[in-house]
Structure 1
Amino acid sequence: MRKPTPEEYSQSVYTSRYVNLVTGDDVLAELKRGLTNMQTLFSSFSEDQWNYRYAPGKWTLKELLAHMIDTERIMAYRALCIARGEKQALPGFDEETYAANGNYGKRSSAELLQEYRLVREANLLQFATFDETMLSQLGNANGKDISARAVLFVIAGHERHHLNIIQERYLSSMEK
């Protein structure tokens, strides 16, 4: 699979950032690596660390992982719709509203890690069935045109973005 061309997605700040964070063309391999890396990282956290905020008003690591799960589910749905030729505009979502209504803090870290793994594994199975025609399909999500291929790169880049935030803001200020 090749990296999406600029014509396959709107050049919005977020979409461009996420697509550009993915190195190489093999997004499925990147998603598999991401699964392993995130499971290893999150499994190393103590329960106190799972509930750590690097600043007031910022998400805990538990909330951050739940946000990543929610986002991947939404993006995978978008990729499926677009790959199947859906021409109706797909809605956006407000990550802060989802976080406020997700009851993430009441969930166990083990449950969140299992959900993350299962969502990713299911998505990898689905994405592997997309052929070039499906990947090249264009649809509209959040008011912007995007290909199914670009959505897959957004998923991988979104994960990379949050891994960078964890390393730069959480781990650097967390007492281990």
Structure 2
Amino acid sequence: MNSVLAIKDEILLLVNQAMIDFENITEAAWNDKPQPHKWSKKELLGHLIDSASNNIRRLIVSQYEQEVKIIYHQDEWVAYQNYQSVNIAEVKSLWKLLNYQISRVIENIPEEKLQNTCDTGKGKTELHSLSFYIEDYLVHLKYHLNQITA
């Protein structure tokens, strides 16, 4: 039995609950920037889209290519995609679907591939296993969902 299936299930539960919770957030609240250099709730959700995209790539590529370097510059990703100007319904839909996809990817990783590694270091080598990235994704997801819905 794949040891990360419980995490996959928890991701799906979080996403489904968040989609309900998101209905209580007004358009103004989605767009409000606490400070000019801080992300709005909409940009935080965009950041979670980017995180899902990058982690999907890590989880797939690292199954067939060991120690591949996949670096993610989060501020650039949010800025260049200009989530602040996108309709929130589109941002929510994309986030939900990418999390359904990452859950499918997690579910299909063979147990023996979970210790394969990926390098995310921006100037130095920073190798972690696929298991680590899956666990870390869940922690990261919870952290930012709490920021958005609190």
Using structure 2 for the length normalisation, give the TM-score: 0.86
Structure 1 portions without partners, runs of 5+: 4-24, 172-176
Residue in 2 that maps onto 1:153: 135
Please say if residues 78 and 141 of structure 1, whose CA atoms lie closer than 8 Å, have aligned partners that are also in contact.
no
Structure 2 match to 1:45:
25
Structure 2 counterpart of 1:109 = 88
Letter of the aligned partner of 1:150 in structure 2?
F
Distance 2:78 2:103 in 1: 25
Return 5+ residue gaps in structure 2 as ranges.
none
1:136 aligned partner = 115
Q: Is the 8 A contact 1:87 1:139 kept in 2?
A: yes
Identity in percent: 21
1 CA distance for matches of 2:139 and 2:56?
14
Return the alpha-carbon distance in structure 2 between the equivalents of residues 75 and 139 of structure 1: 10
Please provide the CA RMSD for this pair: 1.9
Conserved 8 A contact 1:67-1:95: yes
What is the deviation of 1:101?
Answer: 1.0
- After TM superposition, the structure 1 = structure 2 runs for residues 12-161 of structure 1, keeping only pairs within 5 Å, are 26-82=6-62, 84-142=63-121, 143-161=125-143
Partner of 1:163: 145
The 4+ residue runs of structure 1 with deviation greater than 4 A are none
C-alpha deviation, 1:75, in angstroms: 1.1
